Amino acid sequence: MKINTAEFIISNSDVSKCPKEPLPEYAFIGRSNVGKSSLINMLTGRNSLAKTSGKPGKTQLINHFKINENWFLVDLPGYGYARVSKSTKETFQQFITDYFENREQLVCGFVLVDIRLEAQKIDLEFINYLGEKEVPFCIIFTKADKISKGKQQQHVAAYRKKLLAEGWEEMPQHFVTSSSEGTGREEVLAFIDGVNQD
């Protein structure tokens, strides 16, 4: 998919105030610092569409971007500071769970995880939560350039094993990406394009 236009539309923490247009939307979420802003900028080919860490003004909001006038890319707040022993409702902010449970336009969530790390408890908790709510999602492994190809495969295989141990029947659809090298860009965009054509 060629990205012709990428336009910021609105930020808010109230799902009922998200855009009303019935366009398909894809939401990106993950632990703070996982590389979400970098990935969004890499996918859209815009250097500063999403604010990367360190830049001021990074807020805990639902950010809607309209892409090519025909779908929304949604940048959700990073999670990971809350204690994981709490219930999902408390661990993930209410408006995030409201979003996933009530946003009719949502077609697919992308859960970002750092490819270098073992499966983190809070990510597994979020993935299991999406499973319980039957929200379609993919996993995006980030920062692949930081380890060798061989290690990437090992880490993905270990993640799969962990999910199967958690009760998943199969590894969800997943992508290996590097924002600094552009890895996975075509694959993720082709996936979105394919779903939008259905």
- Does 187 sit near ligand GDP (CB under 6 A)? no
Residue ranges in 80-177 assigned as alpha helix (H) = 88-91, 94-102, 121-132, 149-165
Q: What is the dihedral of CA 23, 29, 188, 108, to 10 degrees?
A: -40
Which position among 18, 29, 34, 76 is part of the footprint of ligand GDP (CB under 6 A)? Answer: 34
- Does 97 sit near ligand GDP (CB under 6 A)? no
- Please, is 55 exposed, middle or buried when counting C-beta atoms within 10 Å of its C-beta (0-12, 13-18, 19+)? exposed
- Crossing angle of the two packed helices 185-197 and 36-44, in degrees rounded to 10: 70
- Shortest spacing between CB 157 and ligand GDP, in angstroms: 20
> Residue 109 has what DSSP assignment?
E
Which position among 53, 70, 153, 173 is part of the footprint of ligand GDP (CB under 6 A)? Answer: 53
Instruction: Return the number of the residue (78 or 109) whose C-beta is nearest ligand GDP.
Output: 78
- Does 152 sit near ligand GDP (CB under 6 A)? no
Which position among 146, 156, 162, 171 is part of the footprint of ligand GDP (CB under 6 A)? Answer: 146
Instruction: Return the number of the residue (146 or 160) whose C-beta is nearest ligand GDP.
Output: 146
Structure-token pair, residue 97: 């769970």
Residues that bind ligand GDP (CB under 6 A): 32-38, 52-53, 78, 142-143, 145-146, 178-180
